[in-house]
Chains A and B, each alone.
Chain A
Amino acid sequence: MSILVIAEHDNASLKSSTLNTVAAASALDGEVHILVAGSGCAAAATEAAAASGVAKVIVADNAAYANQLAENIAGLAVDVAADYDYVLAGATGNGKNFMPRIAALLDVQMISEIISVESADTFKRPIYAGNVIATVQSTDAKKVITVRTTAFDPVAATGGSAEQVAIDTASDAGVSSFVGEELAVSDRPELTAAGIVVSGGRGMQNGENFKLIEAVADKLNAAMGASRAAVDAGFVPNDMQVGQTGKIVAPELYIAVGISGAIQHLAGMKDSKVIVAINKDEDAPIFQVADYGLVADLFDVLPELEAQL
């Protein structure tokens, strides 16, 4: 048995979600190999080779893979997958984009966002926005799976010494091209990988007031998040949204400020280890999942909290 993990990276470095996916792969029985497909991705490949529990790193370095275009990655991955029993990737923006394409080309019914490995062919995954957990079994000979990365503790980033094998294939499907990207530039930890997340909701009233959240986040070296209500109201950009339709996070500490706690938000953060809710409405549903609740006006609390940290 052998397992192929498709790495999440930006060419310059490996994203930590890859380590969570390797952890899920390690719960299966077999040798774990990582495919790093990119352009000028040697640094990411070296990081992948150092990850604990990885036997081999396959490096496909070609301009066609520079921007992780699904059409090109899928063409490559289908060829590489021929030798494997499992193909895994994190359920990240990229993984969600190219994995179903790979599965269809392999004629496999993919299994999305597993949260546990029950056996070689049986997995648990959330459905209905996380209101139900399904146990599913696959009879496909080859299994194509995305992993909810927050459900698996990452393997160590160092200590491994996998061999690196370069493959020389250029798979350009010729139907898509990269035009550009606008990525938020920030010194903060990435939302989905941060140990502490401070999120604001509709209670923040406007985008300017998110400076209060920022000040607390600075003190804690935390990532900043938001509820869908805050995003829809235009307070903050889309990529800050935590929830079923946004990012799924599970940090050590999640601080929800002025967030009522709609089901769709809870689905994105309820696996956090410790949850703090700050809201002036004592009946807000967020308090039902919070370990520590503070019923107070956030405009009083945030400056005080910043001062005490």
Chain B
Amino acid sequence: MKVLVAIKRVVDYNVKVRPKADGSDVDLNNVKMSLNPFCEIAVEEAVRLKEAGKVTEIIAVSVGAKVVQEQLRTALALGADRAIMIETDNNVQPLGVAKLLNAVVAKESPDLVILGKQSIDGDNNQTGQMLAALSGMGQGTFASNVELGDGSVEVTREVDGGLQTVSLKLPAVVTTDLRLNEPRYASLPNIMKAKKKPLDIVTPEDLGVEIAASVTTLSVEPPAERKAGIKVASVEELVDKLRNEAKVIS
């Protein structure tokens, strides 16, 4: 069985981003970039399926400028067998990414595609669902457990109020939630080995996909600041304030 894992290069989760002074975009100069945390979980899940003997090949794929090779090499160091970089300098929106991935799916015919549920930059939470739609596959989003069977996969999903389990025919799309697994760190020998693993570079034109951007960011701004209030000295004072000043309890 073949698994395709789509990954994204994003601002490291420890970085607090700020808008540029002119408010045109966020300031990403000299900011540390990493593999999106949900994508790390996606790679880890694929590797565990391979270690369990259910998967024979893992292909990592990413869309972006040349630098995304760094994150593809990370995925290779974590256990992916080969990588495909779809090279473009344009800012591709989720629908465009889904179209590009759909072209790769058509070429590679994976049995399972695993993606992070969202990237921590755009917070869109769209690409996996869109890929499933375009390819006609079923979707197991926000997965907290994946049981890969013969011809189908059972996905336990985090839903409002609890968990839901669905069964999907293969091929299918799974998007990862936080509690699916705890990703490993790449070992030094594996990082060295990853440098020799195959990494193919293709362009959107090669894949026959035209990318249009129909949503434009006009401006960015910091969120409204919340001011710190007052410290109260006792429970009694707190209850009094809530009752008589804020009037939020009776």
Contacts and interface: CB of A to CB of B under 8 A. Distances in A.
B239 interface: yes
Interface string B205-235: 0000000011111111111001011111111
Given A92-B160, A292-B230, A109 B242 contact: no
A101 B96 CA distance: 14
A51 interface: no
Contact of A126 (B123, B133, B136, B231): B123
Interface stretch (A30-38, A177-185, A203-211): A177-185
A108 interface: yes
Contacts of A238: 144, 158, 163, 179
Contact of B229 (A100, A128, A291): A291
Nearest to B226: A289
Contacts of A180: 164-165
B162 A239 contact: yes
B198 to A, nearest CB: 30
Given A74-B133, A129-B120, A190-B161, A294 B231 contact: yes
B220 A100 contact: no
B139 interface: yes
B229 A176 contact: no
B196 interface: no
A287 to B, nearest CB: 6
Kindly name the residue among B154, B226, B239 whose own CB sees the greatest number of chain A CB atoms within 10 A: B226
A135 interface: yes
A2 interface: no
Interface string A269-309: 01001111000000000011111111110000100110011
B34 interface: no
Nearest to B27: A132
Contacts of B141: 70, 96-97
Contact of B166 (A127, A130, A177, A237): A177
Interface in A123-139: 126-139
Please classify the interface of chain A as helix (H, G, I), strand (E, B), loop, or mixed, using the class held by over half of its residues.
Answer: mixed
Interface string B113-137: 0000000111111111111111011
B178 interface: yes
B42 to A, nearest CB: 15
B186 to A, nearest CB: 22
Interface string B159-199: 11111111111001000011100000000000000000000
Kindly name the residue among A107, A132, A275, A287 whose own CB sees the greatest number of chain B CB atoms within 10 A: A132
A139 B221 CA distance: 22
A242 to B, nearest CB: 13
A287 B121 CA distance: 26
Interface in A232-261: 237-239, 245, 247, 252-253
A38 B149 CA distance: 29
A238 B131 CA distance: 27
Contacts of B232: 292-294
Contact of B129 (A101, A181, A183): A101
A245 to B, nearest CB: 6
A304 B235 contact: yes
A4 interface: no
A99 B98 CA distance: 14
Nearest to A106: B133
Nearest to B19: A132
Contacts of B136: 173, 175
A100 B130 contact: yes
A18 interface: no
Contacts of B83: none
Nearest to A71: B138
B235 A126 contact: no
A288 B138 CA distance: 44
A115 B216 CA distance: 17
A109 B158 contact: no
Nearest to A10: B161
B169 A176 contact: yes
A104 B159 contact: no
A94 interface: yes
Interface in B73-104: 93-96, 98
Contacts of A305: 235, 238-239
A255 B234 CA distance: 15
A47 interface: no
A108 B214 contact: yes
Interface string B132-158: 111011110110100000000010011
A25 interface: no
B246 interface: yes
Contact of A139 (B26, B121, B214): B214
12 contacts: A97-B129, A97-B157, A105-B133, A109-B213, A110-B94, A137-B215, A175-B137, A176-B167, A237-B162, A275-B229, A292-B232, A308-B239
Interface of A: 67, 69-71, 74, 92-94, 96-105, 107-113, 122, 126-140, 173-184, 190, 192, 196, 220, 237-239, 245, 247, 252-253, 263, 270, 273-276, 287-296, 301, 304-305, 308-309
3 closest cross-chain pairs (CB), A and B: A291-B229, A100-B129, A104-B130
